[in-house]
A and B are shown apart, each in its own frame.
Chain A
Amino acid sequence: MRKIVEGLLFLSGDEGLTLEQISETISYSKEDTFVMLQEMIEEYHSSDSAIQIVLFGGIYRFVSKSFLHPYAQKLFTSIKPVQLSNASLETLAIIAYRQPITRSEIEEIRGVGCDHIIRKLEARHLIRNIGRSEDIGRAFLYEVTEEFLNAFQLTSLNELPELTLNVSQHKLFEE
């Protein structure tokens, strides 16, 4: 069965597969499939293979290990690491921790306008707009996408690094 899952993951390439897709295809329970995939992840991780299985944003995929990157870059000139500006990173961090959040709330925290950045992040599918806020003005609400989780090696938002200072708690004291 492992061989089949391995093959399926290989075929699905960068699109990857969800746990549901795999378990349905091989007619296994979700729990069993999960355990099996977990074992496979560890196995690939500890082996000296050049590829590994990763689980980011609820999707299993085959990726190459990082030691391969410089060689791949030399061979395929099209591979260039993407850079995110500090402004983009800050905006993403605020959205990830505080979602759903409106643009003006982000701007209040950052102290600068974010209109352009939000549109850029939306175009890169790192964030999406999920309707409008119920408050006055009915501003757009934003949240991060699965693509964000994938790009930041996260399985879920619970894995975000803990904030040094718990802001919401601090506010409680203030009021």
Chain B
Amino acid sequence: MIFTVNTEVFEGPLDLMLHLIKSNKLDLFDLDMNVLTTQYFNYITTLKHQNVEIASEFLSELASLLEYKSKKLLPKETVEITSEYEVDEREKLVQRLLEYQNYKEASMQLEQAFSARQLLLSKPLSEESQNYINESSELITGTPYDLMKAMQKVIKRQSILRPDTTTLNVKEVSLEERAKTVELTLQQQNTITFDRLCEDCINLGMVVVTFLVILDFMKNQKIFVEVIDDKILIKRKNYA
């Protein structure tokens, strides 16, 4: 029993067209659109009979090929204009095919370089030197829950410290403003706990803003954060 397996996998409609042009020995610079359209159509219909799912891109190219062909079949009344249009459409397709072929060829050359590079192996950086280079590997010790617990503690203390009856100062501190103050504090002392950082907070909103600033700084790698016994320890990164 003979199994015919089509191993050819096309990367897209242009790839398929190039293949058809090559196998039919068509001249890319003087492309016979009739042959190409017929071949392309046949290929897609065979695929369909084999119950292969056809990507929409293939169908869309087929549609434009058929459109081109049907336009040519129409009686030509305004000869000059139509012929110009046809040349244009064909030229466009050839241009696209040429450009695509270019990159396809280049990608094959790149593939060779890539496989050759795969054969050259290198040794991972020794752990010893890694430690010198990456201090930041100890950037965060602790889980997000430790952060949450520490935050809860600050909020709790905040609510105890502030008596229930105080006149509320409705002064919103913006993230940017707070970031400036925090940065200034960090410049004065390299290491500070989150509790101390929040000492000047007059309300809960400000604590939250301070926390957001810390998260922001962590994201921007300005600081190290460490959690020790429910305390958030903030360290300034020296070379940031």
A-to-B contact residues, CB < 8 Å: 11-16, 52, 54, 56, 61-66, 68-69, 72, 79, 81-82, 84, 86-87, 89-90, 92-94, 96-97, 109-113, 150-154, 160-161, 163-165, 167, 170, 174
Contacts and interface: CB of A to CB of B under 8 A. Distances in A.
Contacts of B120: 52, 54, 63-66, 69
A157 B232 CA distance: 47
Interface string B119-134: 1111111101100010
B5 interface: no
B124 A13 contact: yes
Contacts of B105: 163-164
Contacts of B96: 109, 111
A31 B110 CA distance: 30
Interface in B61-120: 61, 91, 95-96, 98-111, 113-120
Interchain residue pairs A-B with the least CB separation, the first 4 = A112-B12, A66-B119, A13-B125, A14-B122
A68 B125 CA distance: 19
Nearest to A64: B121
Given A13-B123, A109-B100, A152-B114, A87 B106 contact: no
Contacts of B109: 161
Given A111-B96, A170-B95, A93 B106 contact: yes
Given A84-B111, A90-B107, A151-B117, 11 more contacts: A63-B121, A69-B120, A69-B121, A79-B121, A87-B11, A93-B103, A109-B99, A111-B14, A153-B113, A153-B116, A163-B105
A110 B14 contact: yes
Nearest to B61: A111
Contact of B113 (A13, A63, A66, A152): A152
A86 B107 contact: yes
Given A69-B121, A82-B118, A92-B110, A12 B129 contact: yes
Nearest to B123: A13
A16 B98 CA distance: 39
B110 A14 contact: no
A151 B113 CA distance: 8
9 contacts: A90-B103, A90-B107, A92-B110, A93-B103, A94-B103, A109-B100, A111-B100, A151-B114, A163-B106
Nearest to A160: B106
A82 B118 CA distance: 7
Nearest to B56: A113
A63 B119 CA distance: 9
Given A12-B129, A111-B14, A97 B103 contact: yes
